Amino acid sequence: MTKRSYAILGTGAIGGLYGARLHAAGFPVRFLLHRDYEQVRDRGLRVDSIWGDLHLHDLDIYPSVAQMPPADVTIVALKTTQNSLLPTLLPPLVGDRGLVLVLQNGLGVEAEIARMIGDRVLGGLCFTCSNKIAPGHIDHLDEGKIALGDFRPDGQPSGITDRLAAIASDLETAGIPIDRQADLILARWKKLMWNIPFNGLSAILDAKTDALVADPAIRTLAIELMHEIRAAAAATNRHIPAEFIDTMLTTTDAMRPYLTSMKLDLDHDRPLEVEAIFGNPIRTAQASGVAMPQTLTLYRQLKFLDDRRPCQV
């Protein structure tokens, strides 16, 4: 039986990790590369991982989507700050029948892509500590599970669809742990329970995750933010049990000291994913009559930092 083909948009901490695992498992994988193209062409893609190190030299890599054939599944692992590129990047890869799997943080990202290609979008939430530490070099430190769900344009839960099950099976064959989600939007709100406090506070306070949870005042602030996110989710008819807060804290307590993606983006003068992770949830809650004052404070602080970034060419 012919294996599904995959295209990777964003061969960084997420796309590089999962794309390399799919390739190593024998799936046809095509990688779009820009700045790292020559490095990977000449020296391969290196992934140091808790699942076993990979150094891959026989990859199918491209400097432009114009040269890439369509894929059965296109994985979008770009930062949401690059989504303005997707109307150009996606159509040649998706064709008439291809699916898109969105591995991005935040809320509303699937709806944005569905407006481009129609009802062929799935979403995944990556629970992983993975960084790109050099061109063509990924360091996977901890975790790695993907919460995978199908997307419905009407915002209702999709259940476990056939296409979700098929992609989940491929990823599991590649050694990637998968948590199948019947309600993708609920899964996104649950991921925000971690992303909003820990991405935001790590960037603003210049701290790793272990320092944040070890400080009593900041731990309390993180808990207050999580309660605020729970209330916002409930206003949109997505209900998260209160005990989930303890789960997030326990997970973070056990995590290796980690600089979040937003902290690393700030340190390297890269655009921050402020709108997807903070702005969209705030606006969604406001539309349902719920305020998120502490999240709004973080949002304003991060916008200030983002606006002061040096202009990048």
Tell me how far apart the 2 most distant CA atoms of the chain are, in Å: 56
Q: Where in the chain is the domain with CATH 3.40.50.720?
A: 6-182
Minimal CA–CA distance to 39: which of 137, 140, 138? 137
Whether the per-residue pLDDT at 292 is higher than 90: the answer is yes
311 falls in which pLDDT band (50, 70, 90)?
Answer: low
Q: What is the sign, positive or negative, of the torsion defined by CA atoms of 68, 70, 74, 79?
A: positive
The correct answer on CATH 1.10.1040.10 for the domain covering 186-307 is yes
Residue that has been written with the tokens 């699937």 in this structure? 110
310 falls in which pLDDT band (50, 70, 90)?
Answer: confident
CB 157 within 8 A of CB 182: yes
pLDDT tens digits for range 61-104: 999 999 999 999 999 999 999 999 999 999 999 999 999 999 99
Q: Where in the chain is the domain with CATH 1.10.1040.10?
A: 186-307
Using CA atoms, how far residue 178 sits from 121, 151, 215, in Å, is 17, 17, 32
First to last CA, the chain: 46
Residues with catalytic annotation? 191
The residue count for the chain: 313
CB 54 within 8 A of CB 31: no
Among left, alpha and beta (phi > 0; psi -120 to 50; other), residue 285 is alpha
6-182 to CATH, choices 3.40.50.720, 1.10.3720.10, 3.90.1170.50, 3.40.50.11540: 3.40.50.720
Share of the chain above pLDDT 90, in %: 94
